[in-house]
Structure 1
């Protein structure tokens, strides 16, 4: 599931330190929200002059009247990224804060300082998730020193063993917590190696990750990101080419695109076209508004339209809330929309 000022503050209490928190305090209660606030799509549709196709309008209407997970899987279900939201709290307290805010699912970037944390660290992390009563829906592989500008180990020659050692740890956490989606950030270009050398290594590492995650029925995600000058995957097409190579060379099928609508839009990708042509390739969707990487409704992106169309074309997974907002107003947009609906 990532040095860009948009990311730095989100790592306030990890960046090279153990995640063992201070004595936990009760999270600040937040007004509960529905899993998919009823007017989210309506508000975003009204904020853009684009006209939806009739079928997309029907999907948006259905989203408003059916906000709950279906019996067959998550439908219009939000998952709170606790690495970028609720950062005023110690990391291990954030799952409980997300639950107090009315959410039943969370996701994290790699929450440890090393690829192989201690048993104590992993146990404390897993216990925080379980005690909060939330589902872990997504976890990043170790991506290096993110606040320092690192964006993954997948193509980083010289750190191959770290990445491969991380695979079993990630799979173990996923198996114990029932998590099935794992984001492998590709890594920055390195001046001392050619792009071809790095891409060859990346294909092998992604194949190894896919094999390791397959044993728990999981999926490896590959994400284009913005704000990282040396990160080579900027568009959906960039990531899909890598995915196609991994599949062709290794036979792995459990690797998919992480479509972060904010990153794609900021990088100038045609998000509507990506959805129309590749919704079937989405392993996960994340959202934030632009400009500012803020909460939905703070910018100009037609997030509701994009989500509705993705649903219409078959995406039935979680929607990751990966935006920056202070704790006291983190979910105000959802609360307002619910109030307007009543």
Structure 2
């Protein structure tokens, strides 16, 4: 059976963020992930993890001005120094919390943007981040996100993400495959995972099209979980979904496994 990590940004919202670590552990999770930790001191989060014997599977580097609508800056020309400062800040948190995977969000393309320039910026920034993270044995992740949920996002498909990974040429750069996003953009999930398995560093799940628990909708998750076991995938599977009601009430899908 795959190893599941509770996404504390979306799950257990019935309680404040610090209490979600307790709730996840009590529900049977051994790992957690979240979008951003930066509203809390890294030492505090490390304490919440240690108290509950939880692994932090993943979090995102600083995304720019999230409240103003920014969704990452890795592909944005002119923001390179800010990106590098974000890498350093994320590393401080990762080292305090024992995190081994960090995601760099690409960002939104402005209207009439020169996509080639943004791609070149993205490649250069990823090479820098991969070098910085490699010194601490940390994997850098990039994630394609569907344009329905995030219009204008630079990176949408697994194919493009793996082409970028190959161009960057860093051994510690991997692609995050969120089955929810991948189903919306390109489908053919099992074949796509098999094709790129060596370059996939993290998996996430949610139902399609509603992004709720993975026990309904058009994706056959029991089949995909068996495939992950068959292929020997030993990473975490992040539960990045919005519970239909109380988080605990919707965990029957996991308990049935």
Taking structure 2 as the reference length, what is the TM-score of the superposition?
Answer: 0.90
Cα deviation, residue 327, structure 1: 6.0
Which residue of structure 2 aligns with residue 243 of structure 1?
165
Asked which structure has the greater CA Rg, the reply is 1
Which residue of structure 2 aligns with residue 3 of structure 1?
none
From 33, 39, 49, the equivalent of 1:107 is 33
CA contact (8 A) 2:144 2:176 kept: yes
Q: What is the 5 A alignment of 1:117-128?
A: 121-128=41-48
From 314, 324, 332, the equivalent of 2:249 is 332
Which residue of structure 2 aligns with residue 143 of structure 1?
63
Which residue of structure 1 aligns with residue 6 of structure 2?
80
Which residue of structure 1 aligns with residue 88 of structure 2?
168
Taking structure 1 as the reference length, what is the TM-score of the superposition?
Answer: 0.69
Cα deviation, residue 101, structure 1: 1.4
Q: Give the aligned CA root-mean-square deviation in angstroms.
A: 2.1
CA deviation digits over 1:106-142, x for unaligned, max 9?
Answer: 01112326xxxxxx73333333323333111111111
CA deviation digits over 1:227-285, x for unaligned, max 9?
Answer: 212113211001111111111xxxx2100110000000011332122122111211000
Change in CA separation of 1:90 and 1:162 when aligned onto 2, cut-off 3 Å: farther
Which residue of structure 2 aligns with residue 257 of structure 1?
175
Q: Which runs of 5+ in 1 are unaligned?
A: 1-62, 64-75, 114-119
1:159 aligns with 2:85: no
CA contact (8 A) 2:214 2:253 kept: no
CA deviation digits over 1:267-311, x for unaligned, max 9?
Answer: 133212212211121100000011210001132211221232133
Which residue of structure 2 aligns with residue 179 of structure 1?
99
Q: What is the 5 A alignment of 1:301-320?
A: 301-320=219-238
CA contact (8 A) 1:92 1:128 kept: yes
CA distance in 2, matches of 1:336, 1:183: 27
CA contact (8 A) 2:243 2:250 kept: no
Greater RCO (Cα-Cα under 8 Å, separation 6 or more): 1
CA distance in 2, matches of 1:179, 1:337: 24
CA contact (8 A) 2:61 2:104 kept: yes
CA contact (8 A) 1:297 1:333 kept: no
Count of aligned residue pairs for this structure pair: 255
